[in-house]
Structure 1
Amino acid sequence: MKKFPIFAAAAFIALGLAGCTATESTGPTESSPSASAEAGSDYVVPEIDGTCVDGTATIAEDSSNITLEGDCENVVVEGSNSMVTVTGTVSSLTFNSSISLVTVADVANVTFSEGANGNKVVTPSVPAVTDGGQDNLVAAE
């Protein structure tokens, strides 16, 4: 009977196991485009200048970027899924909508009405907060 040298047997086993190793996928490869590339969306987020009339600005636009320059006594967010920037001071910020982000320089009071859910206020000030909704957040910059 012929004997295999030990190193030859080890090499033979190693080659056999090389085909049995598992690899883990870490995401899409170049040959499989992402879903967003396939969808080809033409949507552009509108950029809107807000206005304060008689001390009140009502933000009613959905899915938009709105900028309100300067101070405004009352800001009411009616539109959902929007990003609002207020460069001045606000006495009362009220949300009657959901999933909006408001960045404000200074705000005294923030109110999330019933049904106003998933909103966020970013401000360096520390406002009084009334939250009738769910999952709302007021945070420092």
Structure 2
Amino acid sequence: MSLTLDLALQLARDTLAEGETRGFLPLAVAVLDTAGQPLAILRDHRSSLHRADIAVGKAAGCLAMGFGGRELAKRASAMPAFMTAVSAIFPKGIVPVPGGVLIRDADGGLLGAIGVSGDTSDNDETCALAALDRAGLHADTGA
């Protein structure tokens, strides 16, 4: 299985729809392939400035480090100087909080990452997880 444009768009739309269904604040979502290149970046028209950039940073950071956002958050807490250093060298940034999720197939193979921003980090992650589940994909949150 691969992460196609159609699948990325479905994931992004389902993520936004989940946030709206739950009454969350307006979201932005980014779906990146394994090379960190965007396949889909969507945002609710009411989302605030740079929400899509934060979503990209959440997804890209997960890909760059190989961990979901929850593990990145733990490492950022334990090694803040390291996270500051890598954030300066990662071209798409790193946002070490929940809401960045690696996308895996049934065999654990890496397909890409999804990043969500707009509500609390936990709520952002909830929307990504719902979309991945709906698509029959596996989420790696780093928990």
TM-score by length of 1: 0.22
Which has more radius of gyration? 1
Greater share of strand: 1
Q: Which has the higher contact order (CA 8 A, sep 6+)?
A: 2
- Of Structure 1 and Structure 2, the greater helix share is in 2
